[in-house]
């Protein structure tokens, strides 16, 4: 499935990381096959975001190895800018560039780092915006868009670089509940189109639906992993059960 045939598309072995004395990632082993969707669940502070940020070298890893698309990304000599064109990431707070229009947000990286011509980048960007129904907003500034629209633009901005894997870091957590579904619909479409994705999420129903594999993180470790069926219907670890019942309760209250 992966390019060199022997290892999966994303391969993490014994990855550990500390913030000072806090062990945020503790011997993480994770494999993600191409065209698969892996969901990371777990409480805030369990290490989901940090794990994602290690995969595009926004964070530095102290121990272990990470291979993406056959390339050792823990190698200090690695050109991170090349890696990041392959590994897109979308953040909880969208992080659109507020001084640029929607179109400029989407074309910036393809033009400056992706080798696209101005025309090429713009026609691609317009096609992507059309696909998410926001072509009419191309010349608006981000603050004129709703949170859900901004987040969809952020996803499209990441897609414009043609990444081979997309990391989604709790991308619906900052959204009003009624805006969540428009973002999740887009992610669902991407999953159906075969995009490899690693998704940190609190949306359990969504994880259950789109994930090929679900990993439960607790205190920097992957405590349990399996198919959605295994994790959500028959969790083995008491911590997983406890977490899921708490989330379920919160959803009922909400």
- Which residues of the chain form contacts with other proteins (CB under 8 A)? 56, 58, 80-82, 84-85, 88-89, 91, 93, 95-99, 108-109, 112-114, 143, 157-158, 161
Q: Please, what is the minimum distance in Å from the beta carbon of residue 152 to other proteins?
A: 15
**Residue 157 or 213 having the CB closest to other proteins:** 157
Query: In whole angstroms, how far apart are CA 56 and each of 81, 89, 199?
Result: 9, 8, 14
* Residue closer to other proteins (CB basis): 47 or 163: 163
Q: Min. distance of Cβ 96 from other proteins in angstroms?
A: 8
Nearest CB to other proteins, comparing residues 159 and 223 = 159
Distance between CA 185 and CA 40 in Å, rounded? 18
- Enter the DSSP assignment of 179: H
Residue (7 or 71) nearer to other proteins, CB: 71
CB of 113 to other proteins, least distance (A): 4
Provide the sign of the torsion angle of the four alpha carbons 9, 166, 106, 206, taken in this order: positive
Query: Distance between the two ends of the chain, CA-based, in angstroms?
Result: 41
Q: Which residues contact 243 (CB under 8 A, 6 or more apart)?
A: 41, 42, 43, 216, 218
3-state secondary structure of 57: coil
């Amino acid at each position: 499935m992966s390019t060199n045939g022997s290892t999966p598309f994303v391969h993490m072995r014994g990855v550990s990381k500390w913030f000072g004395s806090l062990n945020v990632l503790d011997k993480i082993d994770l494999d993600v096959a191409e065209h698969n969707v892996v969901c990371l669940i777990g409480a805030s502070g369990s290490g989901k975001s940090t794990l994602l940020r290690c995969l595009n070298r926004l964070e530095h890893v102290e121990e272990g190895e990470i291979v993406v698309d056959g390339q050792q990304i823990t190698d200090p000599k690695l050109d991170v800018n090349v890696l990041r064109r392959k590994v897109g990431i979308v953040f909880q707070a969208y992080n659109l560039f507020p001084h640029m229009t929607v179109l400029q947000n989407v074309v910036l990286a393809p033009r400056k780092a992706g080798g696209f011509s101005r025309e090429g980048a713009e026609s691609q960007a317009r096609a992507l915006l059309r696909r998410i129904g926001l072509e009419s907003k191309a010349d608006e500034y981000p603050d004129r868009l709703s949170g859900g629209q901004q987040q969809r633009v952020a996803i499209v901005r990441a897609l414009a670089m043609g990444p081979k894997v997309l990391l989604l870091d709790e991308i619906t957590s900052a959204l009003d509940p009624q805006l969540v579904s428009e973002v999740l619909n887009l992610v669902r479409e991407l999953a159906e189109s075969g995009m490899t994705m690693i998704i940190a999420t609190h949306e359990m129903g969504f994880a259950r639906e789109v994930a090929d594999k679900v990993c439960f993180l607790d205190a920097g470790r992957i405590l349990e992993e399996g198919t959605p069926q295994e994790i959500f219907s028959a969790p083995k670890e008491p911590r997983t059960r406890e977490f899921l019942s708490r989330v379920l309760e919160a959803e009922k209250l909400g």
